[in-house]
Amino acid sequence: MSPADAGSLDPARTVVVATGNAHKLIEIEAILSRSLGGMRFVALSELGDYPDPVEDGDTFFDNALIKARAALDETGLSMAVADDSGLCVDALDGAPGIFSARWAGEHGNDDANNDKLLRELDGVPVERRGARFHSSVVLVVRDEDGEETIAGEGDCEGRIGFERRGGNGFGYDPLFELADVPGRTMAELSPEEKNAISHRFHALQDLAAKL
């Protein structure tokens, strides 16, 4: 993604997306631009090297809101979108939940997180391995009258397998067997297939319907 100058952007026609992931920017713009016509979507990483905010919320919504507000604070723009997501396993009372990315201790260590998940579910039969990915997407709009927050929520249902399968995706994708695509894990889908059924897709659709 090429750098952009926040000072040259029209705050009334710009949405900053709190991400450095070009694929996520494209996915968010593709869905929300239908409801936010004429808006330019820019990734936060295009506008500068900003520190990550402390995500100390109690829910996915809380952490998405923290990231969206931080993006507005850092750029001075008036509209921001952020998402937060994770894996919720029934047999683990919803864990790892909001701690999904750092469940094993080191943020973003996918191998360690998946190893821990398999250990925690050791001996748990297939019928009790139900799980879902959940996403909260938040749009925050600021003007002279204050702040408005609109949120969308989405899930992708499935269960946790007994071994990793597939080389695509990231995180817990190799262990997540999809309810909508029986016999395949999230990591066995192409990016296009994943985006069409993912928890973020459903959350974005929910948000777009409220705009």
pLDDT tens, residue by residue, 19-42: 988 878 888 998 999 888 889 999
In the chain, the amino acid numbered 178 is L
For position 108, what pLDDT does the model report?
A: 85
Q: For residue 161, give both structure tokens.
A: 């397998």
Round the average pLDDT of the chain to a whole number and report it: 93
pLDDT higher than threshold 70 for residue 57: yes
Hey, what long-range contacts does 119-123 have (CB within 8 A, 24 or more apart)? 120/89, 120/92, 120/95, 121/89, 121/91, 121/92, 121/160
Q: Is the pTM of this model over 0.85?
A: yes
| Residue in 7, 80, 9 with CA at minimum distance from that of residue 44 | 80
State which fold the 6-209 domain adopts: Maf protein (3.90.950)
Q: Can you tell me the distance from the alpha carbon of 153 to that of 76, in angstroms, rounded to the nearest whole number?
A: 26
Task: Give the model confidence (pLDDT) of 136-175 as tens digits.
Answer: 999 999 988 899 999 999 999 999 999 999 999 899 999 9
Per-residue CA distances from 47 to 2, 40, 76, 140 (Å): 9, 13, 11, 18
Instruction: Map tokens 């937060």 to a residue.
Output: 84
> What pLDDT is recorded for position 144?
86
- The residues near 3 (Cβ < 8 Å, ≥ 6 apart) are 46, 47
Cis, peptide link before residue 53, omega less than 30° from 0: no
Candidate list 84, 90, 145, 206, residue with the active-site label = 84
Domain boundaries, the chain: 6-209
pLDDT of residue 44: 93
Q: What is the pLDDT of residues 107-147, one digit of tens each?
A: 889 999 999 999 999 999 999 999 999 999 999 999 888 99
84 classed as catalytic: yes
CB atoms within 10 A of CB 132: 19
Burial class (CB in 10 A: 0-12, 13-18, 19+), 182: exposed
Q: Is 174 left (phi over 0), alpha (psi -120 to 50) or beta?
A: alpha
